[in-house]
Every structure is written in structure tokens, then in C-alpha cells.
């Protein structure tokens, strides 16, 4: 990639802001708004940061890989992580080093720009494009030059929410065109090569599959197509409601037909007014090779050849895929891997959306030697693309939104699989995707077997749980999300999976459509065996269930929230809201039992407390907190300022009529909480109760104190103030004696305003001015 | 947007003006102006625009400051000789007004890059010193429908015109084709009185301010000509040319051409009909 000048220039602006932040001239929240679009997220605890470096199409040169590894050792904690968008992350970076880190990366045309926030995220492409036997078109050049084009534009960093683009070179659809905001799927039409375009896909708490936007466009039109979608999204996307602002929601709201109409208009406008042409990337010529792969009688090497090696499109060359467990690799090892180029000149590296690292352009005769070198560096790299190759996000240890520690679960699953499933049918035919929360960084919805983390309260104690999903897949037009089946405690997931796999191992031999099988028969099996895995023993009996995988301390939600990327606590909020609603529905059916009404009020009151870092277990406590945090501060309506009294007044001894009144109160209260939740902004802040503040400041009492303000600034301020009120409104302006009182009223009169009254006070004047039709 | 106290004070003398006020000032603060060339014309216009509080000023210039520039290019000073002009300009402007976001574009405009640069701005000031760039800027602005303030200087004479694509005459309506190379000396070769550059550059700044504020009357389809020796201004009407190659009824220039090559060709080859 050629790093656009704009990014290089913008680095200095970033550094300026960083300095201001370090010198305490800028606060945390404001600086967050700057650093996140630069790809710097805070780790849980907010002491260190993660840098997400974009790797367009996953193509990463040896020198770039080396620079990333060096930077991780120099500024980070020595770990690197390959993401499901082909980025490489460096973890544990100190904020003061972020500027220098960017300088180092800049030297090899890398940048974390757009790694996070409401930006055009890393553009993904098939990791093997250009060398894959199946591809229709080589697509990584498109990912790269489109990145260059989009990174130059200011609006690429200021979209309603993140914007994801993917390219797939054939219908195998490595990149998942239909789970991106815009997906380009290579295709052929009447002998011409181009793309089918899909729009509006995306995973998250509410996943959606993209729909066909263009049946065929030539490659030259990619820039127009993306710009048109982006412009429509920029103009029309929901910027306020954080759980409703991806492109998929815009399309949902206006309908796909209306969206297409806007798109057609925008394309026409762009073609009339702009000339969008992506850089042409020259193709690299390679020497021909006709070597053969050496055969050696070594069991592990044979497995390596079977699972890790595949022939390249170009004769005589092989591609080697290295499984990176959980996408993680130490910087030290990454450095050594990048150094392989010295021994095997000409090799290339690619990151994949399945969090692995490919070595490409390996001469066949070098495969064995390369294998022995890799073995000296890595220990766990066999079996990519199998059940063992779990796709998993970073989870609750580092991520602000993580609920469960998904990498910990992944380790437990891998240990179980290695013991008894290597080489089995399920091993070769299935995959597992794990998310630590209902967001989809681990892409659980498209996993054949998917798990996402959530929490459930058991006896008032929060516990890590996972939802089981079955039958997801990413396969161009046949992309489907898995069905959500059941919820089980985190600690039972490996046991459940072990039993589930053992059963289906015997059944899937003759089955072709395994995804359909999973959705029907798989679901049935799950339902049959789930009973044995859903029980949670009381704390006194088995503490283990209360401790998440890979952790020693008990599970808690501490630190969850204030998410920097998307959401997560939202699900916790929603679960309380649902509980509250369910109780009210029941109460209505059962002649308004006091207990249910009280519980409903408790859940309503507690729902939003989590964003204020409060997690009360007791009812009384929740009501107290709510009163302190939401009522006293004016966030919630004054109508509920009596909540403490009402709550304690509800009892079974009240006559039914009275209990019904309380029920109506509880229903109104829940509605109010839902409204507050809707009004919550992306930083989990609430607008202050508008109705109340406005009543306190009626229009008639507008006051502008200009005592001590000299001429003509006093007049300027009065003029500015009057600009922002409605015609006919009145403001009382306080002015000093002398020049101010002599001049300002005169000037305001000549602007067309009406001086209603001038009143002399002690050393100053109070002038009532009525806004009249504005100045000319 | 609401104005900070220091902004109210800094801009008070123009906020006071009828038809500007706080709303007008906010418009200026959120405006984005691209200045092509940080030279004789670009310098004075950049300074006055910055002083007025234009939010973003883009400066396109690929050259470094030379000592012989300083006679008229008042964005630069003796200490900045040797520095890239775009950077020197940024420093000077931010010294005057740190509120301005100055975006330096250290590059030569080409048919490949110009549309991408221009698209981020509201209006363009042409302060270039050569014909290839001037035609490129004109055509790019017409094609992407960006308003353009044209300015030109030569010895004791200067001229300015404002081009609103689709509405008023463009530079090609006035001069359909570039002169053959070598016939017209560039400013680098010809003499120029610094103050003439100042006068024309400031007229361009004034046009841009009016455009942003939606005030007054622009130099639309009107060429303002100034002669320094006589201290005289003249206004000449420039009708929109229906046969104009770029903004006429049947435009023949619909994609940008690299004028560097185009202009070095023989006259007979470069007719673009």
C-alpha cells in the first residue's frame, strides 16, 4: 500500500492532541474521540492500549511484519494478534508511545488509521488472491488501492458508525461478502470479469445478511460504487442511536428499494461530477519454478502436508497456512517468521480472516526446509481450517465489552479436541467460532458451531454463560446465520461439545449439507443432551462454575461497559428491561401481586445503573442508587421522584384496586426507563431531563450580564445572543455606565431591535430588549 | 457551534457588520478553502482568509521557498528559505490564527489527483503561476462543480474573475485554449510588482469571503482588470460561451487531461475538438 500523504500529515495533528492530553490540556473523553479513529483502543482498566494496524487484503511484506514485531517488543507487551478483519494488533502499548509507534509504522507504509471508531475499517480480501487456484479475479490489489483512495477522504473517518468492505475472488467467498457493509464478489458476465455487489450485511448484536445491490459492475466502477454507498450512509445514517447506526439499520428503516433508488441517484451524480479512478497496481513477474515437494517419512510432516500445504495457481509453488491459535503470536516469534525471508527469498505473507498467517510463494523444493524452520519457531501450527482452528475474539481480559473470557474457553475446547477428535469427520468438516459477548468479533453467527458469551444471574450472582448457535456459514449468496439454540454455563461448554461431537461423528459420514443437518438434527441432539449441561450447582457446592475459563478470581461484570467500539452492556440492560416487562405481563394476569410489581420496579430501576458502574443485587439498594444517580441529577423525570416511597408502600395487604394503581405506576416507570435507554448516547450519557430545566428558565427571564465587558465586545455579545432567540423574545441585558449604556442600546435599535425599558441599578443598567425581525 | 470568548473578541469587528453576525462567522469557521499555489496571489489571500477565521485552508504547493520569492510571497520569510512552501505557509498562518486547520498538500496537481483534493473543499482559489495548472484547475472545478476564484498577474497588470460552474463563464470561455508553450513566459521568467500580486490576491480573498457569507455580488462573468501604473480598475463583461470546450452545451473536455504533455505538443496536435 502507498500510504496517502493525508495520513502522514495527520500524524502530526494526532501527536499534537496526544501532547495536549499528556499535558492535561485535553480530557480523556475528548482524546478518546481522537485516538479511537486512529486505531488505539484502551485495554480493560484503561492503563494501556491496543493498536490495530490495518493490513489491506491481508498482504503484509516481510519488512512490514518485522516492523510490527519490533514495535510490539519496543512499545507493547510483546504480543501480537491477527484479527478477523486481517488486521494485526499490538497489545499493551503505553499511550505516550503511540506517536512514535505510528512513525515506525509509517516507515513501512503501515498505519493504524481507521482501525477503530466510525471509520472505513480494514478492507478485507481473500488471503490467497493472486495465487489461488479457484479465483476468478485477483482481488487484493483492489482492496489495497481502494484503501488508498478512501483513506484520503475526511468523511471516511466520520461516518455514523463503522463501515466494512470486503472482496472475494470466487464463490468460495473467503472474505464473507454478505456479512460486510459492502461486499464485492468476483464474477464473470458474458466473458467479462467484474463484481457482484452486496450491501447492508454485518454482524453484531443484530446480525444481517447483505443484499444484492449490483448484479455486475466492471472493476473500474468500484470507486464509484463504494463512494455512492458511503455518501448515502454518511448523509442518512443514524448518528445518534448507537445500537441502530450501522448501514444495515438504515436499509432496514428505509427499505432496500428506497436504498437502491438513492444509490442509483448517487451513482449518476458521481459519474456526472467526479472522476474516481483507483491506482493501477502493476503485477509482479515471478520466475518459473518446477521443483517438487520433498517427501520425508515423518508423521508430523505428513500431517503438515495434508493440512497446512496447498499448491499455488502458479506451478512449482506452494502456499503454507500456519494456524495461529486464537490469532495470537508472540512478537518474538513473529520476528523470526518474518526473518524466514532471508532464508527463502521471495516468500510473501498474508493474514486471513480466520486469524491465520499464510506463507506464499514457497518453492516446492523448499517446503520441507521451511517446515523444519517453522518447527524451530512455533509449536502449535498444524491443522489450520479444522475444528481445532477456533475463531475467537480477545475476550474479557483485554476488551472493554467482553463479558466472558472467550480465549480461555477456546483453550479448554482445543485441549478437549486434541485428546480425542484429531482426524475425525467432525474435525475436518466443522468449525467453531467464539465471541466473548453478543457482539461478533469472533464471528459466532457464521460459525457452524458458534458460542457467544453472556451473563445470567443465578441466585443473584452473575455467572458466565454461552449461547449455542448451530448451522452458520459464509458462502456468498448462501451465507446464513446459525440458529440460536440454548444457553449453557461457560464451564459446561467443553463437556457439552465433546458429547455433541461424539454423537454427530457417527451420523455425518453420508451427509452432504452439513449446515442444514446442524440446524435440524443438530438442534434436536442439542435439545436432547442440554439437560445434563445446564445445571449450575450452588456456590457452596462448586465454586468452579463461578470462575470463568482462564481466570482464578470469581466472575464479575466489573470493568464492563464504557465500550469504545460498540456495545455489550446493552445486552445486560436489555435483559433487565425484558425481565421487568415479563413480570408486568404476569402481574396483569394474576390480579396484581405486589411481589411481582416490586420486582418489576427493581429491574427497571437497575437496568440503567450498570452504565454508572453500579450492579446492585438487593432491591432496596437498586432503588436508592436510582434515586441518587437518576432522579437527583435530573436525568429521570421528576414524576418518579417519589419512587422510594411508592416502592416501600407496595405490599400484598393493599386492596386490589390500590395494587392496580401501583401496577400502572410500574408500567409507566418501565416505559420511562425504555425512553431513557433510547436517549442514551454512545458514551452512555443521558440528556438532562429537558422538561424540567426549561420550566426553570422561562423565556421572559433571559438575562445577559455584560457588566465589565468593554465596547464593542458587549454589543457583539448582545448581538450574538439575540441571533439565537426567537423573534419577539425578550432579553434583559446588564450594561455598565458610560460608553456601554450610551452606545449598545443605540446600536441594537439600529439593528431593528426594540428597547422596552432601561432601568438604572447600582452602578449599572438593566436594559430590556425585544428581538424584532432581526437586523437587516 | 457556539463561539468561544476569544473568538468573539478576535472576530468582533466583522461580527458587528450587518449581514455577518454570529451566523456568518460560524459559516466562515466551518468553511474549507483550497488555495492552489502559496505564491504571490496565494499569500495575501491566505492571510486575509485566515485572519477572517476560515476553518480549513488547504495549500497546494510542491516548491520550496526561494529567496527571490520573498519580494511578493508574503507568507514566507527569510528564515523559511529552503523549506517547502506548503509548510512555511502553514506555520505563518497558524502564527496569525491558530484556529485555522491548515492542510498542506505538498504535491503538483495532476489530472490523477486534483479531483480527490478539490472534493474536500467548498471553494478554490487559483494562485498558480503556469498555464497547464490554470487550465487543469479550471476544468477540474467545472467538472466537479466547485466554485473557483481566478486571479492572474503579469508585470504591472492583474486580473480576477469568479467562476460558478453551471452559472457563470469559466476561464476557458475567456481563453478557450492554452497558448503554445514558450510563447508566454511564466511569472518565474517575467517581472512582477509585488503589490500587484497583493491587490489581486486580496480581491480573490474578498470574493471567497462573499461567496461563503452569501453576501454582495461576485465577479461572475465579469473580469476585473487592474493596472498599477495608472491605478485604474476596469470591469469587462465575459459572456458564458455556449461552445466552451468544458462548460458549453456540448463539452468536449469531459475527462481531465494532463496538460503538461498536452501543452508541450505542437499546436496542431493539441487542438481538442
The DSSP annotation for B135-188 comes to HHHHHHHHHTT--EEEEEEEBTEEEEEEE-TTTS--HHHHSSSPPPTTTS--TT
> Is B65's pLDDT higher than 60?
yes
- pLDDT tens across A371-394, in order? 999 999 999 999 999 999 999 998
The rounded mean pLDDT for chain A is: 89
Strand ranges, E, within A416-516: 432-435, 449-458, 461-470, 483-489
> Is A277's pLDDT higher than 70?
yes
Contact of A153 with chain B, judged by CB distance below 8 Å, is answered with yes
- Residue B52: per-residue pLDDT: 97
Smallest Cα distance from A197 to chain B, Å: 24
Contact of B36 with chain A, judged by CB distance below 8 Å, is answered with no
Q: Give dist(CA A150, CA A223) in Å, integer.
A: 9
Helices (H) and strands (E) in chain A, counts: 24, 24
The arithmetic mean of pLDDT across residues A191-214, rounded, is: 92
Q: Give dist(CA A764, CA A705) in Å, integer.
A: 10
Quick one: DSSP state of residue A119? S
Contact of B180 with chain A, judged by CB distance below 8 Å, is answered with no
Cell of A265: 441517484
The arithmetic mean of pLDDT across residues A629-657, rounded, is: 89
Q: What is the pTM (predicted TM-score) of this model? A: 0.60
> Is A615's pLDDT higher than 90?
no
> Is A572's pLDDT higher than 70?
no
Strand ranges, E, within chain B: 32-36, 56-60, 101-105, 123-126, 148-154, 157-163, 222-227, 232-237
Smallest Cα distance from B176 to chain A, Å: 21
- Residue B36: per-residue pLDDT: 97
Q: Give dist(CA A74, CA A68) in Å, integer.
A: 10
Q: Give dist(CA B161, CA B59) in Å, integer.
A: 20
Check if the beta carbon of residue A49 is closer than 8 Å to that of residue A115: no
- Residue A638: per-residue pLDDT: 85
Contact of B248 with chain A, judged by CB distance below 8 Å, is answered with no
> Is B259's pLDDT higher than 80?
no
Q: Which residues of B106-140 are buried (b: 16+ CB within 10 A; e: fewer)?
A: beebebebbbbbbbbbbbbbbbbbbbbbbbbbbbb
> Is A691's pLDDT higher than 60?
no
Q: Which of A325-329, A365-369, A439-443, B226-230 has the lowest mean pLDDT?
A: A439-443
The confidence band for A773, taking pLDDT boundaries of 50, 70 and 90, is low
- Residue A683: per-residue pLDDT: 54
CB contact under 8 A, B16 and A724: no
Structural domains in chain A, CATH included, are: 1-116 (3.90.480.20), 299-377 (3.90.480.10), 394-546 (3.30.413.10), 569-692 (1.20.120), 697-770 (3.30.110.40)
- Interface A–B counts its CB contacts (< 8 A) at 56
Q: Give dist(CA A204, CA A184) in Å, integer.
A: 20
- Residue B262: per-residue pLDDT: 46
Per CB-CB distance under 8 Å, the chain B contacts of A226 are: none
> Is A575's pLDDT higher than 60?
yes
* Nearest Cα residue in chain B from A747: B16
CB contact under 8 A, A273 and B145: yes
Contact of B18 with chain A, judged by CB distance below 8 Å, is answered with yes
Q: Give dist(CA A494, CA A501) in Å, integer.
A: 10
Contact of B1 with chain A, judged by CB distance below 8 Å, is answered with no
- Residue A311: per-residue pLDDT: 95
Smallest Cα distance from B255 to chain A, Å: 7
Q: Mutating which of B1, B2, B8, B139 best tests the A interface, going by the most A Cβ atoms within 10 A?
A: B8
Q: How many residues would you count in chain A?
A: 776
- Residue A701: per-residue pLDDT: 62
Q: Which of A212-216, B19-23, B230-234 has the lowest mean pLDDT?
A: B19-23
* Nearest Cα residue in chain A from B25: A720
Smallest Cα distance from A186 to chain B, Å: 26
CB contact under 8 A, A719 and B104: no
Per CB-CB distance under 8 Å, the chain A contacts of B13 are: 712
Distance from the first to the final alpha carbon of chain B:
49
Q: Mutating which of A158, A720, A776 best tests the B interface, going by the most B Cβ atoms within 10 A?
A: A720
Give me the residues of A, 699-758, that contact B with CB < 8 A: 712-713, 715-717, 719-720, 723-724, 751
Smallest Cα distance from B234 to chain A, Å: 31
Q: Strands A124-125, A88-93: parallel, antiparallel or unpaired by DSSP? A: unpaired
- Residue A695: per-residue pLDDT: 36
> Is A775's pLDDT higher than 80?
no
Q: Which of A244-253, A680-689, B1-10, B165-174 has the lowest mean pLDDT?
A: A680-689
Q: Give dist(CA A247, CA A199) in Å, integer.
A: 8
> Is A38's pLDDT higher than 80?
yes
The confidence band for A283, taking pLDDT boundaries of 50, 70 and 90, is confident
Cell of B65: 521557498
Task: Give percent of chain A above pLDDT 90.
Answer: 59
- Residue B45: per-residue pLDDT: 98
- Residue A510: per-residue pLDDT: 85
- pLDDT tens across B82-138, in order? 999 999 999 999 999 999 999 999 999 999 899 999 999 999 999 998 888 999 999
In A219-255, which residue ranges form alpha helices assigned H by DSSP? 222-236, 247-254
- Residue B185: per-residue pLDDT: 59
- Residue B158: per-residue pLDDT: 95
Smallest Cα distance from B23 to chain A, Å: 8
CB contact under 8 A, B144 and A274: yes
> Is B273's pLDDT higher than 50?
no
Check if the beta carbon of residue B163 is closer than 8 Å to that of residue B169: yes
- pLDDT tens across A130-149, in order? 999 888 888 999 999 999 99
Q: Give dist(CA A572, CA A611) in Å, integer.
A: 10
- pLDDT tens across B219-244, in order? 999 999 999 999 999 999 999 998 99
Contact of B4 with chain A, judged by CB distance below 8 Å, is answered with no
* Nearest Cα residue in chain A from B26: A720
Cell of A237: 445514517
The arithmetic mean of pLDDT across residues A234-263, rounded, is: 88
> Is A500's pLDDT higher than 70?
yes
> Is B260's pLDDT higher than 70?
no
> Is B205's pLDDT higher than 60?
yes
Quickly tell me which residue has 448501514 as its cell: A247
CATH tag, B31-264: 3.40.50.720
CB contact under 8 A, A712 and B12: yes
CB contact under 8 A, B112 and A277: yes
Check if the beta carbon of residue A155 is closer than 8 Å to that of residue A230: yes
Angle at A107 between CA A104 and CA A109, to 5 degrees: 115
Where residue B11 falls (left for φ over 0; alpha for ψ -120 to 50; beta otherwise) is alpha
> Is B186's pLDDT higher than 60?
no
The confidence band for A571, taking pLDDT boundaries of 50, 70 and 90, is low
CB contact under 8 A, A713 and B12: yes
* Nearest Cα residue in chain A from B3: A720
Q: Residue A770 class from Cβ within 10 Å (0-12 exposed, 13-18 middle, 19+ buried)?
A: middle
- Residue A567: per-residue pLDDT: 35
- Residue A335: per-residue pLDDT: 96
The confidence band for A700, taking pLDDT boundaries of 50, 70 and 90, is very low
Cell of A568: 455489550
CB contact under 8 A, B119 and A153: yes
The arithmetic mean of pLDDT across residues A170-178, rounded, is: 93
Quick one: DSSP state of residue A542? -
- Residue A559: per-residue pLDDT: 67
CA distances to A81, A567, A745 from A407, rounded to whole Å, are 12, 19, 70
* Nearest Cα residue in chain B from A149: B116
Q: In what order do the strands lie in the sheet with A192-199?
A: A124-125, A165-168, A182-189, A192-199, A211-218
The arithmetic mean of pLDDT across residues A678-701, rounded, is: 55
Per CB-CB distance under 8 Å, the chain B contacts of A152 are: 116
> Helices A247-254 & A256-273, crossing angle to 10 degrees?
110
Which residues is A167 bridged to in the sheet? A125, A184
Contact of A775 with chain B, judged by CB distance below 8 Å, is answered with yes
Give me the residues of A, 238-297, that contact B with CB < 8 A: 273-277
Smallest Cα distance from A49 to chain B, Å: 28
* Nearest Cα residue in chain A from B166: A273
> Helices A656-679 & A594-607, crossing angle to 10 degrees?
10
Contact of B228 with chain A, judged by CB distance below 8 Å, is answered with no
Check if the beta carbon of residue A273 is closer than 8 Å to that of residue B143: yes
Q: Give dist(CA A27, CA A39) in Å, integer.
A: 18
> Helices A256-273 & A222-236, crossing angle to 10 degrees?
120
Name which residue leads in pLDDT, A589 or B51: B51
Q: Give dist(CA A40, CA A456) in Å, integer.
A: 31
Task: Give percent of chain A above pLDDT 70.
Answer: 95
Per CB-CB distance under 8 Å, the chain A contacts of B146 are: none
Q: Which residues of A282-296 are buried (b: 16+ CB within 10 A; e: fewer)?
A: eeeeeeebeeebeee
Domain ranges in chain B are: 31-264
- pLDDT tens across A455-476, in order? 887 776 788 999 999 999 999 9
- Residue A699: per-residue pLDDT: 44
Amino acid at each position: 500500500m502507498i500510504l496517502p500523504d493525508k495520513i502522514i500529515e495527520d500524524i502530526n495533528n494526532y501527536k499534537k492532541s496526544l501532547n495536549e492530553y499528556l499535558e492535561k490540556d485535553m480530557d480523556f473523553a475528548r482524546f478518546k474521540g481522537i485516538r479511537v479513529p486512529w486505531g488505539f483502543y484502551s485495554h480493560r482498566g484503561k492503563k494501556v492500549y491496543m493498536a490495530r494496524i490495518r493490513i489491506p487484503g491481508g498482504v503484509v511484506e516481510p519488512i512490514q511484519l518485522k516492523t510490527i514485531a519490533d514495535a510490539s517488543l519496543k512499545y507493547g507487551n510483546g504480543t501480537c494478534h491477527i484479527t478477523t478483519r486481517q488486521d494485526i494488533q499490538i497489545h499493551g502499548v503505553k499511550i505516550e508511545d503511540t506517536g512514535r509507534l505510528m512513525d515506525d509504522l509509517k516507515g513501512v507504509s503501515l498505519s493504524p488509521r481507521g482501525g477503530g471508531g466510525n471509520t472505513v475499517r480494514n478492507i478485507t480480501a481473500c488471503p490467497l488472491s493472486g495465487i489461488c487456484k479457484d479465483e476468478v479475479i485477483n482481488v487484493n490489489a483492489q482492496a489495497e488501492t481502494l484503501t488508498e483512495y478512501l483513506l484520503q477522504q475526511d468523511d471516511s473517518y466520520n461516518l455514523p458508525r463503522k463501515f466494512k468492505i470486503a472482496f472475494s475472488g470466487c464463490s468460495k467467498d473467503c472474505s464473507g461478502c454478505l456479512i460486510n457493509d459492502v461486499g464485492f464478489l468476483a464474477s464473470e458476465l458474458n466473458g467479462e470479469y467484474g463484481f457482484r455487489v452486496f450491501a447492508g450485511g454485518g454482524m453484531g448484536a443484530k446480525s444481517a445478511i447483505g443484499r444484492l445491490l449490483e448484479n455486475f459492475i466492471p472493476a473500474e466502477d468500484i470507486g464509484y460504487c463504494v463512494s455512492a454507498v458511503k455518501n448515502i450512509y454518511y448523509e442518512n445514517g443514524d448518528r445518534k442511536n448507537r445500537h441502530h447506526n450501522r448501514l444495515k439499520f438504515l436499509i432496514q428503516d428505509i427499505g432496500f428499494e428506497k436504498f437502491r433508488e438513492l444509490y442509483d441517484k448517487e451513482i449518476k451524480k458521481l459519474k456526472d461530477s467526479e472522476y474516481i479512478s483507483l491506482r493501477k497496481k502493476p503485477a509482479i513477474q515471478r520466475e518459473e519454478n518446477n521443483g517438487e515437494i520433498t517427501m520425508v517419512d515423518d508423521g508430523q510432516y505428513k500431517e503438515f502436508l495434508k493440512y497446512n500445504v496447498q499448491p499455488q495457481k502458479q506451478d512449482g509453488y506452494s502456499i503454507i497456512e500456519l494456524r495461529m491459535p486464537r490469532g495470537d503470536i508472540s512478537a518474538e516469534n513473529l520476528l523470526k517468521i518474518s526473518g524466514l525471508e532471508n532464508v527463502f527469498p521471495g516468500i510473501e505473507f498474508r493474514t486471513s480472516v480466520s486469524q491465520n498467517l499464510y506463507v506464499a510463494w514457497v518453492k516446492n523444493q523448499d517446503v520441507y526446509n521451511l517446515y523444519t524452520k517453522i518447527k524451530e519457531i512455533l509449536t502449535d501450527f498444524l491443522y489450520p481450517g479444522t475444528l481445532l482452528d477456533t475463531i475467537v475474539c480477545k475476550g474479557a481480559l483485554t476488551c472493554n465489552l467482553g463479558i466472558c473470557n472467550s480465549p480461555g474457553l477456546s483453550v479448554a475446547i482445543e485441549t478437549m479436541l486434541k485428546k480425542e477428535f484429531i482426524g475425525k469427520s467432525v474435525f475436518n468438516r466443522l468449525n467453531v467460532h467464539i465471541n466473548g459477548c453478543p457482539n461478533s468479533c469472533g464471528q459466532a453467527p457464521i460459525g457452524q458451531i458458534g458460542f457467544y458469551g453472556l451473563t445470567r444471574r443465578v441466585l443473584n450472582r452473575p455467572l458466565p454463560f454461552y449461547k449455542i448457535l448451530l448451522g452458520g456459514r459464509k458462502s456468498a449468496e448462501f451465507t446464513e446465520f446459525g440458529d440460536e439454540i440454548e444457553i449453557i454455563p461457560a464451564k459446561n461448554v467443553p463437556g457439552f461439545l465433546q458429547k455433541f461431537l461424539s454423537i454427530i461423528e457417527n451420523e455425518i459420514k453420508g451427509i452432504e449439507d452439513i449446515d442444514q443437518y446442524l440446524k435440524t438434527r443438530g438442534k434436536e441432539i442439542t435439545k436432547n443432551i442440554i439437560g445434563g449441561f445446564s445445571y449450575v450447582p450452588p456456590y457452596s457446592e462448586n465454586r468452579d462454575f463461578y470462575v470463568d475459563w482462564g481466570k482464578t478470581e470469581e466472575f464479575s461484570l466489573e470493568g464492563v461497559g464504557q465500550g469504545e467500539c460498540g456495545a455489550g452492556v446493552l445486552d445486560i440492560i436489555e435483559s433487565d428491561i425484558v425481565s421487568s416487562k415479563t413480570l408486568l405481563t404476569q402481574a396483569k394476569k394474576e390480579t396484581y401481586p405486589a411481589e411481582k410489581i416490586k420486582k418489576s420496579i427493581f429491574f427497571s430501576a437497575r437496568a440503567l445503573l450498570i452504565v454508572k458502574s453500579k450492579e446492585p443485587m438487593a432491591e432496596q439498594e437498586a432503588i436508592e442508587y436510582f434515586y441518587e444517580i437518576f432522579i437527583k441529577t435530573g436525568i429521570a423525570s421528576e414524576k418518579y421522584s417519589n419512587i422510594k416511597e411508592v416502592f416501600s408502600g407496595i405490599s400484598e395487604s393493599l386492596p386490589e384496586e390500590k395494587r392496580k394503581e401501583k401496577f400502572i405506576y410500574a408500567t409507566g416507570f418501565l416505559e420511562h426507563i425504555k425512553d431513557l435507554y433510547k436517549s442514551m448516547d454512545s458514551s452512555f450519557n443521558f440528556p438532562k431531563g429537558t422538561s424540567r430545566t426549561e420550566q426553570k428558565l422561562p423565556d421572559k427571564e433571559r438575562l445577559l450580564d455584560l457588566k465589565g465587558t468593554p465596547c464593542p465586545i458587549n454589543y457583539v455579545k448582545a448581538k450574538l445572543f439575540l441571533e439565537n432567540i426567537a423573534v419577539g423574545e425578550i432579553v434583559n441585558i446588564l450594561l455598565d455606565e458610560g460608553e456601554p449604556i450610551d452606545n449598545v442600546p443605540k446600536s441594537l435599535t439600529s439593528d431593528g431591535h426594540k428597547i422596552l425599558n432601561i432601568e438604572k441599578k447600582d452602578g449599572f443598567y438593566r436594559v430590556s430588549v425585544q428581538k424584532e425581525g432581526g437586523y437587516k | 457551534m457556539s463561539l468561544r470568548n476569544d473568538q468573539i473578541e478576535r472576530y468582533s469587528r466583522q461580527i458587528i457588520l450587518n449581514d455577518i453576525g454570529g451566523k456568518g462567522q460560524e459559516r466562515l469557521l466551518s468553511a474549507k478553502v483550497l488555495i492552489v499555489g502559496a505564491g504571490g496571489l496565494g499569500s495575501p489571500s491566505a492571510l486575509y482568509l485566515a485572519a477572517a477565521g476560515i476553518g480549513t485552508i488547504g495549500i497546494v504547493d510542491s516548491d520550496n521557498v526561494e529567496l527571490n520569492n520573498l519580494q511578493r510571497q508574503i507568507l514566507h520569510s527569510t528564515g523559511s528559505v529552503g523549506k517547502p512552501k506548503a509548510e512555511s505557509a502553514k506555520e505563518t498562518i497558524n502564527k496569525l490564527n491558530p484556529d485555522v486547520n491548515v492542510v498542506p498538500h505538498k504535491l503538483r496537481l495532476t489530472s490523477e489527483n486534483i479531483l480527490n483534493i478539490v472534493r474536500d473543499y467548498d471553494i478554490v482559489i487559483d494562485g498558480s503561476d503556469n498555464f497547464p495548472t490554470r487550465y487543469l484547475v479550471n476544468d477540474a472545478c467545472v467538472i466537479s462543480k466547485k466554485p473557483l476564484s481566478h486571479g492572474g498577474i503579469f508585470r504591472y497588470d492583474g486580473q480576477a474573475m469568479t467562476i460558478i460552474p453551471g452559472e457563470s463563464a469559466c476561464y476557458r470561455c475567456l481563453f478557450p485554449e492554452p497558448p503554445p508553450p514558450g510563447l508566454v513566459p511564466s511569472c518565474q521568467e517575467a517581472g512582477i510588482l509585488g503589490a500587484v500580486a497583493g491587490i489581486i490576491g486580496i480581491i480573490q480573498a474578498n470574493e471567497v469571503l462573499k461567496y461563503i457569507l452569501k453576501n454582495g455580488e461576485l465577479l461572475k462573468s465579469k473580469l476585473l482588470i487592474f493596472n498599477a501604473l495608472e491605478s485604474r480598475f476596469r470591469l469587462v463583461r465575459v459572456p458564458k460561451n455556449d461552445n466552451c470546450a468544458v462548460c458549453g452545451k456540448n463539452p468536449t473536455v469531459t475527462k481531465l487531461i494532463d496538460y503538461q504533455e498536452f501543452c508541450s505538443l505542437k499546436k496542431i496536435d493539441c487542438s481538442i475538438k
